[in-house]
Amino acid sequence: MRKCGFDVIINYVKYLFKFYTFYENIKTWKYYLKNRHISMFPYYLFFFIFLQFHCSTVNAQSYKYIDSIMRIFPDKQAKSVEDIANYIMKKFSSNSAKLRAAYSWTAQHISYDIDELNNRTTYKNENELIERTLRTRKSVCSGYTKTFKAIAEKLGLNVQEISGYVKQNGKIDEDSHAWCAVKIAGKWKLIDPTWSAGTVSQGQFRKRFNDKWFLVEPGKIINSHMPFDPVWQFSYFPINHKEFYTDKVADSITSRFFNFPDTINKISMLSEKERIIASNRRIISMGIYNSATEKHIEINIKIIKSIQESENVEKYNLAVNLYNQSCGIYNSYIKNQKNSVLKKKLNEANLKLYEALQYLNGISLADREMLSSVEKLKNMVHTLISDIKKIS
């Protein structure tokens, strides 16, 4: 079936090229009339429409083939993200096929975890969540998206995870939800592997693969999926929470121009902490309309604080190391003050001490214990700088 589809595509590409060449030579309707090609135009138009329809049909057939391969994926060969990625790379060569395979495996082999939904587990990191998802073959939306993203990244694909909340059958679900985005041929498309896996009804998960949520246009998925951060609406005129709730877009939306491509480019150049801070600012600018948004902001603040604490500890340890090195040079000179080489090294020690002060001054948003330690170390550094100055 694959070979037949491939041959058909090759033939149609040849015809498309002929049609394109013909079209390029036509500059105006006068050219049609003058050269008597007008009678052929309906045939070319019909051919073009037929080609588009058939190509989409071939795409659907290709997807079905990929889905069938991933459906019978041996469980024993899917113990890790690497295992799954390696299997996919052996079976498929194009990025589009690999993307579909990663999505298909995630949606077909992971079931929604109702118990996890009611009793949220806290994980140390993403890897722990992914490992549990692969081991139990169950998870909530975060497990679906992070597992799919991890597989895709092992395949060399760039997938963005998105957090927000959803609307089903006109009703808002204020529990947070997660889905993914991928950039294909310069355009952003959305993927929801969780909703593709099946449905939850009366407290039970019913597994039923549905690829309706694969490569969805941003303008379509916004009807049901609302990102916390407006940048992930992929819209120059993002809607706000009130408009999502009411399905009524205000006339003032045209005054909310938002250059999302430029913002996404800038995001890629920021550190993790800077990205989260910028995201929180954008979220707050759209208004805090529900508890899910409020919780997401609180989680972001905790992450920022955790990153800041790690940075503070790293800076403090670097300052301590530099101070200890300087103490070593100073003590060596005191023991042998006639050594001219050691005396020259005092300048090196001095530079290290000023570098230590830079690290200490860079510590911010620290707790009392850290601030107390910083002040003590600063005093010790200043004292040693003074002692070295007296000698030199």
The 10s digit of each residue's pLDDT in 145-167 is 999 999 999 999 999 999 999 99
Q: Is 105 helix (H, G, I), strand (E, B) or coil?
A: helix
Average pLDDT over residues 312-323: 96
Average pLDDT over residues 222-245: 95
Tokens at 273, concatenated: 């902490």
Mean pLDDT of the chain: 85
How many whole angstroms separate alpha carbon 228 and alpha carbon 176? 9
170 — alpha (psi -120 to 50), left (phi > 0) or beta? left
| Predicted confidence (pLDDT) at residue 294 exceeds the cutoff of 90 | yes
Q: For residue 28, with 0-12 CB atoms within 10 Å meaning exposed, 13-18 middle and 19 or more buried, which class applies?
A: exposed
Tokens at 9, concatenated: 């595509």
The helix-helix angle for 141-154 and 126-136 (nearest 10°) equals 100
Fold of 74-300: C8orf32 fold (3.10.620)
What pLDDT, in 10s, does the model give residues 174-229? 889 999 999 988 899 999 999 999 998 878 899 999 999 999 999 999 999 999 99
Query: Residue 183 belongs to what H/E stretch?
Result: strand 171-184
Centroid of chain to Cα 371? 35
Beta carbons of 229 and 282 less than 8 angstroms apart? yes
How many whole angstroms separate alpha carbon 181 and alpha carbon 188? 7
Tokens at 329, concatenated: 């040079």
Beta carbons of 78 and 134 less than 8 angstroms apart? yes
The candidate with the shortest Cα–Cα distance to 213, out of 105, 139, 292, 104, is 104
Tokens at 310, concatenated: 């790690």
How many whole angstroms separate alpha carbon 256 and alpha carbon 200? 37
Cβ neighbours of 218 (radius 10 Å):
19
Domain boundaries, the chain: 2-58, 74-300, 305-391
Kindly report the pTM of this predicted structure: 0.76
Q: DSSP class of residue 120?
A: P
Cβ neighbours of 73 (radius 10 Å):
19
Average pLDDT over residues 116-133: 82
Per-residue b or e along 178-187, where b marks 16 or more CB atoms closer than 10 Å to that residue's CB: bbbbbeeeee
- What is the per-residue pLDDT for 60? 56
Q: CA distances (Å), 10 to each of 14, 17, 18, 21, 365, in order?
A: 6, 11, 13, 17, 62
The candidate with the shortest Cα–Cα distance to 293, out of 278, 275, 280, is 280
Query: Residue 207 belongs to what H/E stretch?
Result: strand 204-207
How many whole angstroms separate alpha carbon 182 and alpha carbon 349? 51
Average pLDDT over residues 369-378: 94
